[in-house]
Amino acid sequence: MSRKDKLKGIVVSLPTPTKKNYEVDYKRFKEHVAWLVDQGLVEGKAVLMGAGGLGEGYFLTREEHEKIMEALVDAANGKVPTMTGIFEVCTKEAVLRARMAEDVGIDFLQVNPPHYLAPVDEEVYVHYKMINDSADIGIMIYNTPWCAMHYEIRPKLMERLAELNNIVGVKWTSFDPVNFVTMLKQFSDKLNFIDNSTLISLAFQLGAKGYISLLGNIAPKAELYLLNLLEKREYERFDMEYKRLHAWREVLSSAEEMGFQGIGEGTISKAIFEAVGKPIGPPLPPQRRVSEENLKKIRELLNKYKVFDYALKISQEG
């Protein structure tokens, strides 16, 4: 199987377990990865990403990042492709981390455009090209229109990026519906698109090969059930089941109202894990832990939609 062909299926963004003093709990991380593999998240069906956005990659030191990658590769044991996030504004630091990932044995990098002020296309191209030329490792471009004053990667730049030999995929969403569709139509034969929106069935019909998942951390067999529907092109049924299984997204849409939206994904993601009885420690600073009052509200929302009850039912039937 080629490098590109391995980038498909459920791309599970893994949480980073922490202790009370904010130290990373590598033992728990490895146990979680091993459990996911045992549940069926293996090559051809999934990719496991450590230190992504949900995994608080923005907030890890270089040493912590390296240890997370080592733990991921060790626990995956060659049974599932591995990925890590690179979020650096400094291209030289991004190159160092890319080389570190290659040395450790990571299969893919998730790399978003550098952002402080809004970048221009040439700066973004230089960032990716320097990483591409510095390490022999697959790269998944991460379009992040919510950063840097709504900067988006568009076809003119993607034509150049697609020619770089290590770029094999795109983690894809867009604030522009035309750009969302155009990029898939124009480039899905060259690059594997991994959907990062709620328009997964549309993206697959336009050529996407996978999608990003949080639920896979909690109910991997339910997520495999959804993937099977996509593989069989049962898109209407997928939409119905996805809506039911991912109703927890109501929690995300309520984040700002509840007052726990902030700089990173650790606050809300770790609150969800805690609310379903799988606490994995506090968010890395400067992110905040949600209050007990808001944690109760999250539990009420999850219970209202009975998401995980249904996911458990599917897992048992599967």
Cβ atoms 127, 98 nearer than 8 A: no
* Residue 290 backbone zone (phi > 0: left; psi -120 to 50: alpha; other: beta): beta
Please indicate whether residue 22 is annotated as part of the active site.
no
Alpha carbon dihedral 93, 96, 102, 106, in 10-degree steps, equals -30
Sign of CA dihedral 105, 110, 113, 115: negative
Spatial distance between the Cα atoms of 48 and 106, rounded to a whole number of angstroms: 10
> Catalytic one among 6, 8, 171, 209?
171
Cβ atoms 13, 213 nearer than 8 A: yes
Alpha carbon dihedral 241, 305, 267, 198, in 10-degree steps, equals 30
Cβ atoms 316, 227 nearer than 8 A: no
Spatial distance between the Cα atoms of 313 and 273, rounded to a whole number of angstroms: 19
Spatial distance between the Cα atoms of 77 and 85, rounded to a whole number of angstroms: 19
> Catalytic one among 6, 45, 128, 142?
142
Please indicate whether residue 45 is annotated as part of the active site.
no
Residues in contact with 164: Cβ distance below 8 Å, sequence separation at least 6, in sequence order: 128, 129, 132, 139
Token couple for 30? 């490895």
Q: Where are the beta strands (DSSP E) in 61-150?
A: 82-86, 108-111, 138-142
Cβ atoms 90, 121 nearer than 8 A: no
Residues marked as catalytic = 142, 171
